[in-house]
Amino acid sequence: MIESEEANPEQQQRNAGATNPKIPASSTCTTTTSTSSSTTPDFTDLTHIASLDAPFLASFTRVRSLHASSPTTSFSTHVDFTFNLTLAAAQLRLAHNVPHFTLPTTNLVPPIPNRLSYLTWLKTLCTVPPTHAIDIGTGASLIYPLLSHTIFPTLDILGTDIDPASLTHASHLITINDCTRISVKQTDPTIPQITAALEPSVHPPPPPTPTITLLTNKQSKHLPRALDELTTRGRKVTHWSWWAFPTTLEGALEPSPKTSISLSTAASFLHSAPPIWKAVLLKITTLVNKSGANVLPRIDHGRVVYFIKFWETSWHTPMWLRTVTTSLRAAYVGVKGPVIDFVMCNPPFYGEGEVGGREDGRERTVMTKSESVTDGGELTFVSRMIADSLSHQHSITWYSAMVSKLSNLKTLAKSLKQYLSGGWIRTTEFRNGQVTRYGLAWSFGEYSTRFEVEEEVGVVERRLVEFFGSDERIEWWVKREQGRGSCEVLVEATFDFTVDGDAVAKARREVRGLFDRVEGEVGRSNRRWKRRRKQEEEAAGNGK
């Protein structure tokens, strides 16, 4: 995978830390880190890879023979697409649990160590295990999503691209490697790419399934009454939450036939949902922002929480619906914080006319135009990302990009300081082979945990009260689970704790105390239920 970034393939294999004093410092909490590799040629690592992987062994033997027959030329002179591809495939197969990796001969074979350095750096920025991320310009290789699961085992990642041919091959890689936590989406090149990633795909969704058709028909039938009720009475009174807040769970009391939705049918549902659904949700949001959570009766709060969680984890959710879930989250979940942990981007480095000839004395590896060129080059591309991020600062924790020139890094960091008065800027250096690349990341706030731990405790307490006051099925489930770590089971079931450390230990101690109090109430309720049941059985026996 030798491109202009890499001087020798063997040099890609070794990384070590070294600080570069030329990287710009920043008064807004900027830190600088670096990864580098030795410039001393060494075949040891490549030889080891070749000994473990037959396809790469053939390529490596062939190129090494060509190099031996022309001692005045460099090893990289003889490297071709097949060598690059078999090396990348071997690295992915041996170290990253990606059994199958292919690429069209027209596309760039990405250097694995360089891409891995970027992801490893992002890991240092995430104070808790990330769960959602976006890779802008994922390309045919899908390289960052494929590598991400080695570093982030719990990550669901969306790869976007403007090139349909690249996404076709990326989808193929997802299928042959059974990557259930990777999604791809084609985006509109005429709008900012972060916004485009958060909007529905430009590719038409599949036709609605019978289940989705049933749901949309019920929405068209029942939600006009719901909108009228909200408008005239200012709150929900009758029964229609199943159709306003569709989730993967069927409503226990919903009139048959029951309705539900899944992540696989979300796109077709959004495409076919009647306009009245959006109108009802926007009306609810307006009322909740004005009057609070009591706009909806307590018995509906659990469904609303599941609705929020579902649409926050769907990559098809449009911006208007994300705005709705953000407002509802504040009212019904009680916690605030970004839903997406990071955005990453390895943009085309060059503008029109900048690619051609030799950048470092060698012909560049073949690549498509969309992989190498963008309007205005990387400086313009990342500048647009910075401007676009201002619209999503409450939805995403970290924004990041890799750039090729130190001068561009300095310009971009300076530009960020205009927007981030209290935010965070991070820069780093990736040194693989003889060529250096730079990382830039920014955030609009410091998040020591995904959500504030003390808020989580309050959420659990409030939801426990709601569950025990309104949902007999949850009450029964809790009684059943008391024999096996019921506190932890209940916490995990009622709220997703993803953070570790002393703060969570404190939170769980408080929850345990809460549970002890609730457990007493459950015991008394259980005894009353047994007495009532016994009385009913005795009365039935006397009646005989």
484-503 average pLDDT score: 41
1 assigned to some structural domain? no
Residue 370 and residue 435 share a domain: yes
Q: How confident is the model over 396-407, as a mean pLDDT?
A: 93
- Shared-domain flag, residues 26 and 150: yes
Contact criterion met (CB below 8 Å) for 312 and 266: no
The verdict on 24 and 151 lying in the same domain is yes
How far apart CA 427 and CA 25 sit, in angstroms, is 8
Separation of alpha carbons 64 and 54, rounded Å: 15
Domain boundary among the residues 393, 422, 443 is at 443
Q: Is residue 59 part of a domain?
A: no
- pLDDT per residue as tens digits for the range 504-531: 455 455 555 555 555 555 556 666 666 7
pTM (2 decimals)?
0.68
The 8-class DSSP code of residue 308 comes to H
Same domain, 183 and 269: no
pLDDT in tens, 86-141: 999 999 999 899 999 999 998 989 989 889 999 999 998 887 788 899 999 999 99
Neighbours of 162 (CB within 10 A): 18
* Statement to judge: residues 34 and 151 lie in one domain: yes
Strand order in the sheet with 132-136: 31-35, 424-432, 435-443, 396-403, 340-345, 132-136, 156-161, 182-186
CB 119 within 8 A of CB 148: yes
Q: Based on the domain organization, do 167 and 227 belong to the same domain?
A: no
The crossing angle, in degrees rounded to 10, of helices 453-470 and 486-494 is 100
Side-chain half-sphere CA neighbours of 380 within 13 A: 9
Residue 13, token pair as written in the block? 């294999």
Name the domain count of the chain.
3
Per-residue pLDDT for 18 more than 60?
Answer: no
* Residues 218 and 137 both lie in one domain: no
Whether 429 is in a domain gets the answer yes
Q: Are residues 261 and 128 located together in one domain of the fold? A: no
Amino acid at 113: P
Band the pLDDT of 263: cuts 50, 70, 90. confident
The pairing of beta strand 424-432 with beta strand 435-443: antiparallel
pLDDT in tens, 321-364: 988 998 898 888 876 566 788 999 999 887 776 654 334 334 44
Q: 486-494 and 472-481 helices cross at what angle (nearest 10)?
A: 150
pLDDT range class, residue 242, cuts 50, 70, 90: very high
118 torsion bin: left (phi>0), alpha (psi -120 to 50), beta (else) = alpha
**Co-location of 252 and 310 in the same domain:** yes
Closest CA to 442 of 380, 387, 405, 404: 387
Q: pLDDT tens across 306-321, in order?
A: 999 899 888 888 888 9
* 456-462 contacts, C-beta under 8 A, 24 or more apart: 456/335, 456/495, 456/497, 456/507, 457/507, 457/510, 457/511, 457/514, 458/334, 459/333, 459/334, 459/335, 459/495, 460/491, 460/494, 460/495, 460/511, 460/514, 461/511, 461/514, 462/334
Asked if the structure places residue 433 within a domain, the reply is yes
In the block, residue with structure tokens 């900027």:
30
Q: Are 264 and 361 found together in one domain?
A: no
Of 443, 469, 496, which residue sits at a domain end?
A: 443
From 416, 443, 470, the end of a domain falls on 443
On whether the CB atoms of residues 23 and 406 are closer than 8 A, the answer is: yes
Question: Which token pair is 246?
Answer: 């569709």
Does residue 289 fall inside a structural domain?
Answer: yes
Q: Are residue 458 and residue 407 in the same domain, yes or no?
A: no
Closest CA to 515 of 496, 492, 498: 492
Is 73 part of a structural domain of the chain? no
pLDDT digits (tens, 9 = 90+) for 183-209: 999 998 888 999 988 887 767 778 899
Q: Which of 183, 84, 182, 101 is nearest to 141 (CA)?
A: 101
Residue 416: domain span = 17-39+113-202+340-443
Type of residue found at 322: R
- Please report whether residue 62 resides in a domain: no
**Residues 526 and 408 both lie in one domain:** no
* Residue at token pair 């591309």: 381
What pLDDT, on a 0 to 100 scale, did the predictor assign at position 235?
94
- What is the rounded distance in angstroms from the CA atom of residue 184 to the CA atom of residue 70? 44
- pLDDT computed for residue 224 by the predictor: 96
Dig out the tokens for 434 from the structure: 């003889």
Q: Does the pLDDT value for residue 299 go beyond 80?
A: yes
Provide the H-helix boundaries in 273-318: 275-291, 301-313
> What would the two tokens of residue 406 be?
């130190």
**Three-state secondary structure string covering 200-211:** CCCCCCCCCCHH
Q: What is the CATH number of the domain that holds 377?
A: 3.40.50.150
CA-wise closest residue to 236 among 226, 245, 221: 226
For 59, 65, 462, the CA distances from 7, given in Å and listed in that order, are 18, 19, 59
> Between β-strands 340-345 and 132-136, what pairing exists: parallel, antiparallel or unpaired?
parallel
Task: Return the closest-CA partner of residue 343 out of 145, 114, 499.
Answer: 145
What's the mean pLDDT in 419-441?
A: 83
User: Is 45 domain-assigned?
Assistant: no
Distance in Å from the first CA to the final CA of the chain: 85
